[in-house]
Amino acid sequence: MKRISRFAWLLPILAFSIASAAESPRQAIPIGTVLPVQLSSTVKSDRVRPGEKISGEIMQNVPLPGGSHIPRGTKIIGHVVSAKPASAGNKGEMSLRFDALAMKKQIVPVTTYLRAMASMMAVSQAQVPESGPDRGTPAYIWTTDLIGGQVNYHGGGVITQGNEIVGHSAPDGVLVRPGNLPGTHCRDDGDRLQAFWVFSSFACGIYDYDDLALVHAGRTHPRGEITIQAATGNVNLHSGSGMLLRVQ
């Protein structure tokens, strides 16, 4: 009994250390980090059920403070929160949540909201040079138009808005300082360069999905819950669609 009581003072310290270790994955991805994601499968409001798993892939190395990064190809995991098929007098609607990254055999919890989303066709077009498909021209000297405006001069290594340089070209995307435009739900996320893949620094909202509306981005309560509604018919998010998710 004396031997146990002698070390009893260590128990609170051990408990604190275990709790800290358990919480460390949650702190791995800093608040404000933008994740460029491509949806891995098609999601339809008349086909999915609440709780159904969804996933995407990180499409560009995401720089983190201190020189580390989230590697391209990292899987992001989410699920369907709710789904309402279109019916007489009711619009199709769907709520999603992306809440974990599969990193180095470890599941890292995150809470994200949707900054921007674009159709598979818009994503594909943003990766074709202005001069059109040209197999004879190396990709590193292409000029491409980003989703939401701005131009990526791959050869010059810069992203421009008119005559202003707003970021840099990267081998797998672009690095820009997030901006905002009046009347959008997006906001300036600070001075550090972020991975925006095929999106411009001002990209905000939904692109090339004319029949869809962003009802709730997930930035406010309920945090992390992204709700999309169709003008007619069902919500139909195609595999290959692109997203910018912001960690909060």
* Residue recorded with tokens 């997030």: 178
pLDDT of residue 52: 96
Which region among 82-96, 173-187, 207-221 has the lowest average model confidence (pLDDT)? Answer: 173-187
pLDDT in tens, 43-79: 999 999 999 999 999 999 999 988 889 999 999 999 9
Tell me, yes or no, whether 221 lies in a domain.
yes
By three-state DSSP, how is residue 115 classified? strand
pLDDT of residue 66: 85
Tell me, yes or no, whether 15 lies in a domain.
no
Tell me, yes or no, whether 146 lies in a domain.
yes
Range of the domain at 153: 34-247
Tell me, yes or no, whether 5 lies in a domain.
no
User: For the chain, how many structural domains are there in total?
Assistant: 1
The pLDDT-based confidence of 188 (bands split at 50, 70, 90) is low
* Nearest alpha-carbon partner for 113 in 208, 205, 234: 205
* Burial grade of 110 (CB within 10 A; 0-12, 13-18, 19 or more): buried
**Element at 2 (helix H, strand E):** helix 2-6
Tell me, yes or no, whether 118 lies in a domain.
yes
Tell me, yes or no, whether 19 lies in a domain.
no
Spatial contact of 50 and 80, defined as CB atoms under 8 Å apart:
yes
Tell me, yes or no, whether 95 lies in a domain.
yes
Give the C-alpha separation, 204 to 187, whole Å: 9
Sequence-ordered list of residues with C-beta below 8 angstroms from that of 76, at least 6 positions apart, any chain: 35, 37, 55, 56, 57, 58, 98, 100, 101, 102, 245
Residue 28: C-alpha distances to residues 14, 22, 44, 172 (Å): 22, 12, 32, 23
Tell me, yes or no, whether 198 lies in a domain.
yes
**Element at 121 (helix H, strand E):** helix 120-125
Give the C-alpha separation, 234 to 172, whole Å: 33
Spatial contact of 176 and 195, defined as CB atoms under 8 Å apart:
no
| Phi (first) and psi of residue 172, to 5 degrees | -115, 15
pLDDT in tens, 122-147: 999 999 888 776 666 676 678 899 99
Note the maximum CA span of the chain. 82
